[in-house]
């Protein structure tokens, strides 16, 4: 088609949004539209719109399937929070009953020149993917380096890219005696990284870190758990635990860590009454319900097949119509 030629309306716009050429067998048939000089062109436009509507449904279901698959893959990951996808409809079209020439058709006994037939959907798109921070179940591990948060809040981890937030309390002691993540990023207290020695630290429910001063926090001094009598307990530090105004807008950066965004707001220390409970020797499990995710996956498969069938049906009808166009006078 030359640059000066005006493309047909269904080519330039489909369902109220700009659209590229159709990518199915129908693309080979659309060129016949330029030869159509009858009211059959309206039927073709409706069929093309139906193909786009079905394709948008398939794209949406594919996006949801990816989210469900990721949730299921991380069902056993410590403190993993599942993602949820929200869809948004394209603007609906209000259909009126008209004649082929566009003049309103009045049914017998009605005073409405253009009776309303109903609303026609034009497709759907992904509106938002957000994380649900519902509390996960707690699992006892008897490992003093493991911690779980019972309530709203996050641990603060110092990484190469700055401070990050996490709900995962699966920490270990590194060679320097710092409580760290599996990747070596230290857990932060209000006075800096938490440095302790093996079996010589206790985490209170309010986040306070206590050690036995008689042993100290030298990582090279190794004592058995049964040898520590706690004859001189002292307060070492307090875990840095923060909240954000809108946690659903936090950005996932991997390894169960999150970064703040302008929409989520910066982290802040909550008051003592709003502070989550720190439970030592426990880990928080993921909040993914594997049964529900599997049921949703089956539902998504069925909806994907329905949209695929709709496209196939429209393509078949379009092929039948165009094969009969030459006989229309």
The pLDDT profile of the chain, 329 residues, written as one tens digit per residue, is: 444 444 444 333 334 343 444 334 444 444 444 344 444 455 555 567 788 888 899 999 999 999 999 999 999 999 999 999 999 888 887 777 766 555 655 666 666 666 677 777 788 889 989 899 999 999 999 999 999 999 999 999 999 999 999 999 999 999 888 999 999 999 999 999 999 988 889 999 999 999 988 887 777 777 767 777 888 899 999 999 999 999 989 999 988 899 999 999 999 999 888 899 999 999 999 999 999 999 999 999 999 999 999 888 888 888 887 777 655 55
Number of domains present in the structure of the chain: 2
Residue 266 pLDDT: 93
> Exposed/middle/buried for 42, CB within 10 Å: 0-12, 13-18, 19+?
middle
Q: Please tell me whether residues 215 and 108 are part of one structural domain.
A: no
**Residues 27, 116 within the same domain:** yes
What is the pLDDT at residue 327? 58
Q: Identify the pLDDT of residue 5.
A: 42
In a domain, 150, yes or no: yes
- Domain identity same for 42 and 123: yes
What pLDDT is attached to residue 13? Answer: 38
In the prediction, which pLDDT does 198 show?
86
Give the pLDDT confidence score for residue 49 in this predicted structure: 79
Does any domain span residue 4? no
Residues 205, 43: Cα–Cα separation, whole Å? 69
**153 plus 276 within the same structural domain:** yes
Give yes or no: residues 258 and 303 share one domain: no
Give the per-residue pLDDT at 4: 42
Is position 1 within any domain? Answer: no
Instruction: Note the pLDDT of residue 89.
Output: 86
Q: Which domain holds residue 83?
A: 9-132+291-323
In a domain, 328, yes or no: no
* Same domain flag for 127 and 151: no
Residues 180, 222: one domain?
yes
For the entire predicted model, the pTM comes to 0.75
Residue 272 and residue 301 in one domain: no
Question: Do 87 and 144 share a domain, yes or no?
Answer: no
Does some domain include residue 146?
yes
Whether residues 260 and 296 share a domain: the answer is no
Report the pLDDT value the prediction gives residue 273, as an integer from 0 to 100: 86
Q: Check residue 93 and give its pLDDT.
A: 77
198, 250: one domain: yes
Q: Give pLDDT, residue 28.
A: 40
Model pLDDT, residue 39: 45
Adjacent-strand bridge partners of 239: 189
């Amino acid at each position: 088609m030359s640059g000066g030629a005006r493309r047909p309306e269904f080519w330039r716009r489909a369902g109220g949004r700009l659209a590229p050429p159709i990518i199915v067998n129908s693309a080979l048939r659309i060129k016949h539209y330029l030869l159509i000089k009858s009211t059959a062109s309206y039927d073709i436009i409706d069929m093309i719109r139906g193909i786009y509507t079905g394709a948008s449904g398939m794209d949406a279901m594919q996006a949801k399937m990816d989210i469900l698959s990721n949730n299921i893959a991380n069902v056993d990951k410590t403190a993993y929070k599942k993602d949820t996808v929200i869809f948004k409809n394209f603007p609906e079209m209000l259909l009126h009953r008209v004649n082929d020439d566009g003049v309103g058709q009045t049914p017998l006994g009605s005073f409405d020149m253009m009776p309303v037939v109903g609303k026609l959907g034009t497709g759907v798109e992904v509106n938002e993917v957000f994380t649900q921070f519902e509390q996960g179940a707690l699992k006892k591990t008897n490992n003093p380096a493991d911690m779980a948060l019972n309530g709203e809040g996050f641990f603060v981890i110092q990484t190469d890219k700055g401070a990050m937030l996490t709900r995962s309390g699966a920490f270990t002691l590194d060679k320097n005696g710092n409580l760290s993540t599996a990747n070596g990023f230290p857990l932060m207290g209000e006075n800096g990284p938490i440095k302790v020695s093996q079996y010589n630290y206790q985490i209170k429910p309010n986040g306070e870190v206590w050690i036995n001063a008689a042993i100290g926090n030298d990582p090279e001094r190794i004592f058995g758990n049964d040898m520590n009598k706690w004859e001189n307990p002292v307060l070492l530090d307090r875990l840095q635990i923060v909240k954000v105004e809108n946690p659903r807008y936090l950005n996932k950066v991997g390894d169960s860590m999150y970064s703040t965004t302008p929409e989520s707001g910066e982290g802040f220390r909550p008051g003592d009454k709003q502070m989550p409970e720190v439970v030592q020797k426990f880990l928080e499990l993921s909040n993914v319900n594997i049964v529900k995710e599997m049921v949703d996956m089956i539902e998504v498969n069925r909806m994907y097949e329905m949209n695929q069938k709709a496209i196939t049906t429209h393509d078949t009808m379009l092929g039948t119509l165009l094969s009969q166009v030459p006989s229309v006078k």
